[in-house]
Amino acid sequence: MTQRVLTTESGAPVADNQNSATAGVGGPILLQDQHLLEKLARFNRERIPERVVHARGSGAYGYFEVTDDVTAFTRADFLSAVGKRTETFIRFSTVADSLGGADAVRDPRGFALKFYTDEGNYDLVGNNTPVFFIKDPIKFPDFIHSQKRDPFTGRQEPDNVWDFWAHAPEATHQVTWLMGDRGIPASYRHMNGYGSHTYQWTNAEGEAFFVKYHFKTNQGVRSLSSEQAAELAGKDGNSHQTDLLQAIERGVNPSWTLHVQVMPAAEAADYRFNPFDLTKVWPHSDYPLQRVGRLVLDRNPDNVFAEVEQAAFSPNNFVPGIGPSPDKMLQGRLFAYADAHRYRLGVNHTQLPVNAPRTAVVDNYGRDGLHATRNGARHDKNYEPNSYAGPAQTGAALSAPLAIHGWTGTHEAPAHTKDDDFFQAGELYRLMSEDEKGRLAANIAGGLSQVTRDDVIEKNLAHFHAADADYGKRVEEAVRALRED
CA atoms within 13 A on the CB side of 369: 16
How many other β-carbons are positioned within 10 Å of the β-carbon of residue 418?
Answer: 10
Burial of 391 (0-12, 13-18, 19+ CB in 10 A): middle
Query: Is 409 a residue whose pLDDT tops 80?
Result: yes
How many other β-carbons are positioned within 10 Å of the β-carbon of residue 423?
Answer: 17
Active-site residue, 127 included = yes
Give the Cα separation of 92 and 248 in Å (integer). 15
pLDDT of residue 485: 77
Q: Mean per-residue pLDDT for 118-142?
A: 96
pLDDT of residue 439: 97
Of 141, 125, 144, the closest CA to residue 316 belongs to: 125
In the set 17, 19, 35, 54, the catalytic residue is 54
Q: Mean per-residue pLDDT for 178-190?
A: 97
Measured over the CA atoms of residue 91, residue 97, residue 101 and residue 104, the dihedral's sign is negative
Q: Mean per-residue pLDDT for 280-284?
A: 97
| pLDDT range class, residue 330, cuts 50, 70, 90 | very high
The pLDDT tens digits of the residues spanning 302-327 come to: 999 999 999 999 999 999 999 999 99
Give the Cα separation of 282 and 273 in Å (integer). 9
Whether residue 320 has a cis bond before it, omega within 30° of 0: no
pLDDT of residue 77: 97
Active-site residue, 443 included = no
In the set 127, 348, 443, 460, the catalytic residue is 127
β-bridge partners, 124: 113
pLDDT of residue 119: 95
The pLDDT tens digits of the residues spanning 54-72 come to: 999 999 999 999 999 999 9
Give the Cα separation of 483 and 485 in Å (integer). 6
DSSP 343-366: HHH-TTGGGSTTTS-SSSPP----
DSSP 90-113: EEEEESSS-TTS-SSSSS-EEEEE
CA atoms within 13 A on the CB side of 264: 5
